[in-house]
Amino acid sequence: MTARYLDGARLAEACAVLGRNLDVFAPVLGRPGDAPRLERLPAAGTVTIAPRKPLLPLKSLFLPDCEVILTFRRRGNETVVTERPPVERDRVVLGALPCDVAALALVDRVMLQDPPDPSWRERRARTAIIALACTGEDEGCCCASVGVDPLRPKGADALLSPAGDGWLIEGATDKGERIVDALDGVLRKPTAVEIEAARVLISSSRKDSPLAGCERAWADAWDTAPWQDLAARCLGCGVCAALCPTCHCFEIQDERRGNDGVRLRAWDTCAAKQYARMASGENPRSRLETRLRQRFLHKLSYSAERYGSIACVGCGRCAAHCPGSTGIEEVARLLARAEADHG
């Protein structure tokens, strides 16, 4: 597919053109020093198409942290139920990072298996993803260790590759080609220098992470891994699950006021104390170390056994934001050490 060129000075114009018929989402910088946030445009702040991870992953546009699924109203002996549509218009995301794009495919394995989640399915179908070829951001990035190509990511509808003061843009799917066509009046033909600049991009994503080659069952990890030591560091705050692009647990609650009410879906996490509590009050994971064991063995073992790959894309958010330094790389390192110690 033929590459076109988007000058950086025309980024706002490109967003405005797409916004005529689509809801446009992009990373937006607010206060200096803050991480970008994926916002629907127009938004307060500066749109930034750069290899800087948004605080919340791309997943949040497909599985919101809290959403109204339906409303209900009781009138006499009848209850009127009104479902909320997941999206009002087709959408496009600009500048999605490869790790976050790869994570959607991992969550697809869960959300689109039979029976599929209708909200996830509709949002996926009605959203075009324009990824950014990522040259790496910090020492926490290790997507290349888990099979993600940071420069030519799979799963995107089009790709932006930094070149000069702008980006080459190439469609990868019919959906992506339609986005490129919609921008025809804003784009131009790239120069030979710009094409070469995009071709020679190099990513600094680490390939030596302990997560590399992790797709195996940790046979002895249930009893021998240092779960109690990890629990001593963990505050149980749940920031790892909130920022993880592959976590997908949720809970559903009905909230009623008088004769009216709403059904809500909100993020949940297996690291939360009440997550496994049963109606009887029994809780098989009342201790923090058992919840940590469930979380990390699901990521590194159970997911690999079931789907053939671990549930991690190497974005580094958990390590960067965990106050107890129990990021998934550190856990994989400790699991490997425990396995070696116990033969």
Q: What own/partner pairs with CB < 8 Å and gap ≥ 24 does 271-279 have? A: 271/236, 271/238, 271/240, 271/241, 271/295, 272/236, 272/238, 273/236, 275/249
Model confidence, pTM: 0.92
pLDDT digits (tens, 9 = 90+) for 239-254: 999 999 999 999 999 9
* Closest to 173 (Cα-Cα) out of 127, 142, 138: 127
Measured from the Cβ of residue 298, the count of other Cβ atoms closer than 10 Å reads: 17
SS (H, E, C) 62-106: CCCCEEEEEEEEEECCEEEEEECCCCCCCEEEEEECHHHHHHHHH
Tokens coding 6? 């988007």
pLDDT at 261: 95
Task: Return d(Cα 167, Cα 3) in angstroms, integer.
Answer: 10
pLDDT value of position 137: 64
Instruction: Report whether 157 contacts 175 (CB < 8 A).
Output: yes
Residue 1, pLDDT score = 67
DSSP letter, residue 203 = -
Distance separating alpha carbons of residues 298 and 207, to the nearest angstrom: 22
- Residues of the chain scoring pLDDT < 70: 1, 137-138, 215-220, 342-343
Backbone angles phi, psi at 306, to 5 degrees: -85, -40
Q: Answer for the pair 54, 115: CB distance below 8 angstroms, yes or no.
A: no
Contact in structure between 29 and 45 (CB atoms under 8 Å): yes
Rg over CA atoms, the chain: 22
Residue 208, C-beta contacts closer than 8 angstroms, at least 6 positions apart: 145
For the range 230-234, what are the long-range contacts, defined as Cβ-Cβ under 8 Å and sequence gap of 24 or more?
A: 230/289, 230/292, 230/326, 230/331, 230/334, 231/287, 231/288, 231/289, 231/292, 233/324, 233/325, 233/326, 234/288, 234/292, 234/324, 234/326
22 DSSP assignment: S
Burial 223-234 (b: 16+ CB within 10 A, else e): eebebeebbeeb
For residue 208, count other CB atoms closer than 10 A to its CB: 9
Quick one: tokens of 124? 């996926």
The length of the chain is 343
- Per-residue pLDDT of 266-308, as tens digits, reads 999 998 999 999 999 999 999 999 999 999 999 998 898 889 8
Write b or e for each residue in 146-167: b if 16 or more Cβ atoms lie within 10 A of its Cβ, otherwise e: bebebbebebbbbbbbbbeebb
